[in-house]
Amino acid sequence: MKKLFLFLSALSVSALLSAETLKVAHIFSDHMVLQRETNVDIWGWGEPGKAVRVSTSWNYSSYKTTVQEDSTWRVTVPTREAGGPYTVNVVSGKDRIAISDVMLGEVWLCSGQSNMEMPVSGFGFQEVEGATDAIMDAMETAEDVRVFNIKTPKKTEPVNDVEAAWALSTPDVVAWTSAVGYFFAKRLTKSLGVPVGIIVNAWGGSRIEPWMTKEVINNAGLTKEELDAIYAIQEQPDRWPETPELIWNGRVAPIAGYAAKGIIWYQGCSNIGQKCYDKLQKAMVEMWREAWGIDLPFIFTLLAPYEHGDADGRWRSHFVENQLHTEKILSNSWAVCTETLGNKVTVHPAKKREVADMMVQRALQNVYGINPGVSIELPRLDKWTVEADGSVKVRLTQVWSNLGSISSRSVVGFELAGEDRNFHLADAEIDWDGQTIIVRCADVPKPVAVRYGFRNWMGANLQKSNGIPVPPFRSDDWEY
């Protein structure tokens, strides 16, 4: 693959060559947050051959460069510990740009489809739990949480900039900001005590393929049949992006290199049933990491239970298995589970704060090296045994605290199958040791397989006592 730096620097060259006055990319605006204690790139356009000087008030220093023949310029500026407000001044000849109210803190990329896009105020007939309180309480952290919300349309060719600006998280901004992104930022700023900037770049209904280039997809290790299926999709002009590059070109490439700490990602509904999703997710993240020039941590959300047209169908649970596999093939990546947070009749669960909190816990532990105070690892099937009375005892890894269900020791979501491989809903309860689940089903006197949460919707309710849901698991490897 060609070096992404060269690819990005060549974006829309014909348009750039016409630049005559000094400009900075829109992502460098008043109220922006720059990643603390690192080197950040600042870039823009100007008259070829002219000198450009960038001055920063946090260290009273200036950094010089020259506008290139393609009208682009770029400087690298060191940042210091969190704080502000500061100013950034850009000067070239008589042209001057002053960027004010700049904070140094933490920057996170928030991307995905509708469950990441869903604003705090909710969608039509679909609420976000706690929305009124969140909007009314927004002013308490309005200065510390800042939002850059990208809404660029589909682009068949790479563009060099986006039309957006940083904003304080005032109530009117919060109401239309990604709920997961906002709750993540607000919790993180409280946990770290530093400003947090979120770059919200989400598009409801989008597949994963538009978030990366065809070249990356072609080199993701997919079979010919998998590639053929991807390229057989016909893009609809009046719908969300479904085919490669359309979001990368317009929303990702123009901001690539804006220093950030990591990525939170909530996507997958539009790719459900795709067995190569883990490979695509890995390829996308690796592309972004190369474009940013750092090993961006990747925290992603597993699909929540929802009937998907058939509550007893199993394609959602198989897809979650595939999503989870990303952790094994992609370094510096972690899943958060929503198995107890779903809703049978909507694909957009109302409990967005819980999703964000789990993402923050993961970030604190694995990105910032801070003990979140609770065990956040997802339990997995450790062993299961069939007892003489036909019951099954299930033990999970990574419990560390007692298991529980949402309302009691009784657990919903287990199934047993006998030699005929037909699964039947089973009764289950947590043993008094808090670590073992006892599963029984009168219709399956001799179990040969056990599953949990392995339908599109079951009302599954098993979680660790600190609220971390247990993801779907199974003892078998059967196709269905």
In a shared domain, residues 125 and 225:
yes
What is the average per-residue pLDDT within 320-333? 98
**pLDDT surpassing 90 at residue 3:** no
* Residue that is last in its domain, among 74, 102, 130: 102
Q: What is the reported pLDDT for 404?
A: 73
What is the average per-residue pLDDT within 264-268? 98
Strand pairing of 410-411 and 436-440?
unpaired
In a shared domain, residues 141 and 64:
no
**Does 10 fall in a domain?**
no
**pLDDT surpassing 60 at residue 149:** yes
What is the rounded CA–CA span in Å between residue 224 and residue 96?
A: 53
In degrees and rounded to multiples of 5, residue 254 shows phi and psi of -65, -20
Query: What is the SS3 assignment for the chain?
Result: CCCHHHHHHCCCHHHHCCCCCCEECCCCCCCCEEECCCEEEEEEECCCCCEEEEEECCCCEEEEEECCCCCEEEEEEECCCCEEEEEEEEEECCEEEEEEEEEEEEEEEEEECHHHHCECCCECCECCCCHHHHHHCHHHHCCCEEEEECCCCCCCCCCCCCCCCEEECCHHHHCCCEHHHHHHHHHHHHHHCCCEEEEEEECCCCCCHHHCCHHHHHCCCCCHHHHHHHHCCCCCCCCCCCCCCHHHHHHHHHHCCCCCCEEEEECCHHHCCCCCHHHHHHHHHHHHHHHHCCCCCEEEECCCCCCCCCCCCCHHHHHHHHHHHHHHHCCCEEEECCCCCCECCECCCCCHHHHHHHHHHHHHHHCCCCCCCCCCCCCCEEEEEECCCCCEEEEECCCCCCEEECCCCEECCEEEECCCCCEEECEEEECCCCCEEEEECCCCCCCCEEEECCCCCCCCCEEECCCCECCCEECCCCCC
Six token digits for residue 321: 């298995």
Nearest CA to 295 among 320, 326, 260?
A: 260
In a shared domain, residues 137 and 225:
yes
Strand partners, 53: 64, 91
CA neighbours closer than 13 Å in the CB half-sphere of residue 18: 3
Q: Which domain holds residue 42?
A: 15-102
What is the rounded CA–CA span in Å between residue 432 and residue 426?
A: 19
Kindly report the average pLDDT of the chain as a whole number: 94
In a shared domain, residues 359 and 397:
no
In a shared domain, residues 216 and 132:
yes
* Residue that is last in its domain, among 52, 68, 102: 102
Q: What is the reported pLDDT for 401?
A: 67
Residues above pLDDT 90, as percent of the chain? 90
Q: What is the reported pLDDT for 403?
A: 80
pLDDT digits (tens, 9 = 90+) for 52-89: 999 999 999 999 999 999 999 999 999 999 999 999 99
What is the rounded CA–CA span in Å between residue 461 and residue 305?
A: 11
Give the amino acid at 224.
K
pLDDT digits (tens, 9 = 90+) for 79-117: 999 999 999 999 999 999 999 999 999 999 999 999 999
In a shared domain, residues 303 and 171:
yes
Cβ contact 195:144 at 8 Å: yes
In a shared domain, residues 80 and 189:
no
What is the rounded CA–CA span in Å between residue 401 and residue 435?
A: 8
**pLDDT surpassing 60 at residue 33:** yes
What is the rounded CA–CA span in Å between residue 294 and residue 347?
A: 33
In a shared domain, residues 347 and 221:
yes
**pLDDT surpassing 60 at residue 13:** no
CATH number at residue 76: 2.60.40.10
For residue 18, what pLDDT band results from cuts at 50, 70 and 90? Answer: very low
Strand pairing of 427-430 and 333-336?
unpaired
In a shared domain, residues 157 and 219:
yes
**pLDDT surpassing 90 at residue 2:** no
**Does 264 fall in a domain?**
yes
**Does 1 fall in a domain?**
no
**pLDDT surpassing 60 at residue 151:** yes
Q: What is the reported pLDDT for 473?
A: 98
**Predicted structure pTM score:** 0.94
**pLDDT surpassing 90 at residue 365:** yes
Nearest CA to 478 among 340, 324, 327, 321?
A: 321
**pLDDT surpassing 80 at residue 305:** yes
Give the amino acid at 96.
R
With 0-12 CB in 10 A as exposed, 13-18 as middle and 19+ as buried, what is 248?
Answer: buried
For residue 132, what pLDDT band results from cuts at 50, 70 and 90? Answer: very high
In a shared domain, residues 147 and 273:
yes
Helices 352-366 and 179-192: crossing angle in degrees, nearest 10, is: 40
For tokens 């920057």, what's the residue? 107
* Residue that is last in its domain, among 60, 75, 102: 102
Cβ contact 213:291 at 8 Å: no
Helices 315-329 and 277-292: crossing angle in degrees, nearest 10, is: 40
| Greatest pairwise CA separation for the chain in angstroms | 87
For 394, other C-beta atoms within 10 Å of its C-beta total: 25
pLDDT digits (tens, 9 = 90+) for 162-210: 999 999 999 999 999 999 999 999 999 999 999 999 999 999 999 999 9
In a shared domain, residues 20 and 149:
no
In a shared domain, residues 388 and 338:
no
**Does 114 fall in a domain?**
yes
CATH number at residue 122: 3.40.50.1110
Q: What is the reported pLDDT for 374?
A: 86
**pLDDT surpassing 50 at residue 10:** no
Residues above pLDDT 70, as percent of the chain? 95
Q: What is the reported pLDDT for 140?
A: 97
What is the average per-residue pLDDT within 302-317? 97
**pLDDT surpassing 80 at residue 419:** yes
**pLDDT surpassing 70 at residue 229:** yes
**Does 371 fall in a domain?**
no
**Does 45 fall in a domain?**
yes
**Does 2 fall in a domain?**
no
Number of structural domains in the chain: 3
For 141, other C-beta atoms within 10 Å of its C-beta total: 20
Q: What is the reported pLDDT for 406?
A: 64
**Does 239 fall in a domain?**
yes
